[in-house]
Structure 1
Amino acid sequence: MKCPVCPATDLLMTVREGIEIDYCPQCRGVWLDRGELDQIVRRAAQASIEDVQAAERDAYREREHRPQRHGDHRYGDSRGRHEHPRRKKSFLGDLFDFD
C-alpha cells in the first residue's frame, strides 16, 4: 500500500503488542486499520488503571512502614516533599518506537 502523504513510498507494516501498524519510513506517518485504534485505547486505559493501583499500593506501603520521627514537630518537616518517583515508560512509547 502506498503512503497517502508520500505517494512514491510504500508503507511498511510492523506488529507491536499484537497490533498491526502501517507506517511510512519517509514521513513517519502511522496508519491503523479498523479496530486497531480501539485496541490501543483499551490497552492505554488498562495500563493507566494499573499504574494508579501500583502508585496507591506504594503510597500505602510507605505510610505503613515509615519510621516514626521524634523531636519537635511544631514547624513541620518538609524533607521529601518535592521528591517524585520516576515515571514508568508508557506502553504507547514502545508501541510507536520504530527506531
Structure 2
Amino acid sequence: MKCPIDGTALVIAERSGVEIDYCPQCRGVWLDRGELDKIIDRSVVQAPPPPPPGRDMHGGYEDQGYRKKKKRGGFLEDLFDF
C-alpha cells in the first residue's frame, strides 16, 4: 500500500497485537477497522487517585515529597516508537 500523502510504500509494524501501517517519510499512521479500538482498550489503566496532602501542626500543608515527576512513557509511546 502507498502513502496517500507522498506515495512512499507503507511499512507494517505489529505492536501488542495491533498492525500499524506507517509511512517512514512523513511518519503518518494508518489503522484498519477495529485497530483503534484495540489500542484504546489496551491503553486504559485504572489507577487510584493520589492521597490528599496532609496538614502539618501549623495548619499549613506539609511537603510530602510531591514533586513534579518526569512523565514516564506509556502504552501509546511504546506502540508508536518507530
Residue 79, structure 1, aligned to residue 78, structure 2: no
Q: What is the root-mean-square deviation in Å for CA atoms of aligned residues?
A: 2.5
Deviation string 1:11-33 (CA, Å, 9 cap, x unpaired) is 00000111100000000000001
TM-score (norm 1): 0.65
What's the % identity of the aligned pairs?
48
Separation (CA, whole Å) in 2 of partners of 1:81 and 1:32: 42
Alignment-mate amino acid for residue 5 of structure 1 = I
Aligned positions of 1:5-44 closer than 5 A: 5-7=5-7, 9-44=8-43
How many residue pairs end up in the alignment? 79
Deviation string 1:9-62 (CA, Å, 9 cap, x unpaired) is 1000000111100000000000001110010111112xx21xx14x66xx5xxx
Q: Which has the higher helix share?
A: 1
Alignment-mate amino acid for residue 94 of structure 1 = D
Instruction: Report the counterpart of residue 2 of structure 1 in structure 2.
Output: 2
Long gaps (5+) in structure 1:
64-71
